[in-house]
Chains A and B, each alone.
Chain A
């Protein structure tokens, strides 16, 4: 049994979900950040995932793929404008540009990532149990 490949796929999946969770945390933490080093309000980050062949061998007609975090991109749409003349970052009309982070969407993404992480962890556990059971043959 090729346990290593299976573990590798599992860990790539776990890593991808953890990255998503980190990005959700970052988005939520910056939900009202109006000033960034590159200027303008904070831009919501989005994780892009791709499926990649398990590197060292072509197997099972390419059905077995691991997950790769291809990029963490900025989302450029949906900034909110709020009228608040007392805000230091308000323009001459008194409008403030707020980040395009939707708390509700982020919470949904967070739950999704947590559940996916759990599922992959369960798969990892099952594989580990199978490997241990196989080792029992030698007893």
Chain B
């Protein structure tokens, strides 16, 4: 991100992307509650700060520097049938956190707007 859009906005963006993916998986779990043989899945957030420390080693200076981009989540398979209670709790939590992140993003934009307005 550049000087106007600071790192917070990038962080929020990847957080919202993770929440969206998680929503898909939760919905899939709930929808397949009756399907025999279906294994539920869970999406876990991978800490970006931790992930950023793991970089590919450059053994030759002509090598390109590895970039830490792409998925910020990992998928885990769970045992046994879908637990409806757990799924609904996950659904509520995911919904809330997604909306919270969106709200933060909206306020971030709003503060940018305020700054722009005051310089006129």
Q: A: which residues have CB within 8 A of B?
A: 1-2, 5-6, 9-10, 12-13, 16-17, 20, 49-51, 60-61, 63-67, 112, 115-116, 119-120, 122-124, 126-127, 129-130, 133-134, 136-137, 139
Contact = CB atoms under 8 A, between A and B. Distances in A.
Contacts of B84: 115-116, 119
7 contacts: A49-B36, A64-B41, A65-B38, A120-B33, A123-B91, A130-B20, A134-B16
- Mostly helix, strand, loop or mixed at chain B's interface? helix
B25 A64 contact: yes
Interface of B: 16-17, 19-21, 23-28, 30-38, 41, 43, 75, 77, 84, 87-88, 91-92, 94-95, 98-99, 102-103, 105-106, 109
B34 A116 contact: yes
Contact of A136 (B32, B36, B94, B102): B102
A6 B32 contact: no
B24 A60 contact: yes
A64 B35 contact: no
B31 A60 contact: no
B24 A2 contact: yes
Given A136-B106, A137-B109, A120 B23 contact: no
A123 B36 CA distance: 20
Contact of A127 (B27, B43, B105, B106): B27
